[in-house]
Amino acid sequence: MTEVPIQWLKNHHAFENPKSKLAAELFPPGLPQQIRRIHSEIPGYRMSPLKSLPRLAKRIGVGGIWVKDESARLSLNSFKVLGGAYAIYQKLLQRGGFSDKEMSLRDLLHLEGGRREKLGHPTFATATDGNHGTGVAWAASKMGFPSVIYVHSLTTQDRIRGIERQGGRVVVVDGNYDDAVRQASLDAQKNGWEVISDTSWEGYEDVPKWIMQGYATMFVEAQEQFAAQGIQRPTHLLVQAGVGSLAAAAIGFYSVLFEDNVPLSMVVEPTEAACLYESMRIGDGKPHSITGELDTIMAGLACGDPNPLAWETLYNCADFFAKCPDYVAAKGMRVYSVPLAEDQFIVSGESGAVTLGALMYMMEYEGARELREAMGLNQESQVLLINSEGNTSPDEFRSVVWEGSLPVPEDFKIHVKEDED
């Protein structure tokens, strides 16, 4: 039986308007802007574009589709470097006993002599499906330190080579992403390495918090870009999720910034790796893991263990949870790469495109009528999506966009009228 394009749950707890203690801690007034200033010291920094798809928005019946395009971030094709670089910066301040007032990121990039010796000789380690490890390897290398990056056995050679190009030593672990996380932690403890993980566990919370804070730069930029368009804020926010750190950062940021008028939000996961959806389905307010191969084309989202820190924010603030099969992400990739006339072209990888595919089905698929009505999606809606990665796995990208792999099943094709583009 063909899998439906979107399954969803309403988070009734979030609609009772509880506050996220973590979001308030991570994004107090002024700190996101300070983090953005820190990132601006990275050589080559510039804002990633906020792209508009007005023709597609009109066709599917929303007021605007806005895409924060992270495929342009620092030539690394992903937003992940924002979290990794900020976490490494904070860890080095901690090791050297410095404050951010006496040691800027620019200072760290050129540190010599006794002050350099105070940092010691750390090796940074992490587990990844590709993008996070590339960002950590790049940031560690820029600051003059080695890195060891753990990947699972299904990681593509394109992603592995991308990590190695940034100076990371790659270790392949049998099993899935969560097995790589555990092995990286064990080896780091044995070797005295510093772990830069975007998920938390008991006794390990500072670094994942720093990583989520680092992602705030995207949304500070986005708000400046919205203001230039005369838009105060997005009305809706769709964010993809693996362990949930990006989704929690996005939704947490907006829940603090617009406390009394928060955008409606949805967390979107692959059907084969929907640990947050499953946690919401169980409904006891706790994060729950799923097991199995987590076999999805959305490699950056193939996670079975939720980040417990991220779950605190998502349970309190995320309005809806959804899961989609791989063909929805593949459709999103193709739509981004072949836009309607006047819409902007976007290169989006498998994990970056699933929210666009989900939005299109929410608006055009008859089986999603109840969902779009529950979310209040209409011609007044201004929807923010995050293209979290570009073409980070060229073989997979060409397979989908050139060869047409993972086609939309016949039962779920949206047939175009003759007078439409």
413 is catalytic: no
Give the list of residues 6+ apart from residue 135 with CB closer than 8 angstroms, or none. Answer: 76, 78, 80, 81, 82, 83, 84, 85
| Cβ atoms within 10 Å, residue 367 | 12
Residue 159, classed as helix, strand or coil, is: helix
The one catalytic residue in 129, 198, 305, 319 is 129
Structure tokens at 50: 């906020």
Contact (CB, 8 A) for 28 and 258: no
Contact (CB, 8 A) for 129 and 151: yes
Strands 382-387 and 236-240, by their bridges, are: parallel
In 98-244, which residue ranges form alpha helices assigned H by DSSP? Answer: 105-109, 113-117, 131-142, 157-165, 177-191, 206-214, 216-228
Which has the closest alpha carbon to 156: 131, 187, 183?
131
Q: Sign of dihedral through CA atoms 370, 373, 377, 378?
A: positive
Contact (CB, 8 A) for 271 and 3: yes
| Cβ atoms within 10 Å, residue 3 | 17
Residue-wise DSSP of 21-79: HHHHHHS-TTHHHHHHHHHTTSTT--PPPEEE-HHHHHHHT-SEEEEEEGGGGGGTTBT
Which has the closest alpha carbon to 277: 4, 2, 7, 1?
7
Which has the closest alpha carbon to 263: 283, 244, 235?
235
N-term to C-term CA, the chain:
31
- Residue 168 is classified by DSSP as E
Structure tokens at 170: 């790659």
Cα 336 to Cα 139: distance, rounded to the nearest angstrom: 29
C-alpha Rg value of the chain to the nearest Å: 20
Cα 410 to Cα 404: distance, rounded to the nearest angstrom: 14
The one catalytic residue in 51, 68, 69, 80 is 80
Residues, the chain: 421
Q: Sign of dihedral through CA atoms 304, 309, 313, 315?
A: positive
129 is catalytic: yes
The residues that are catalytic are 80, 129
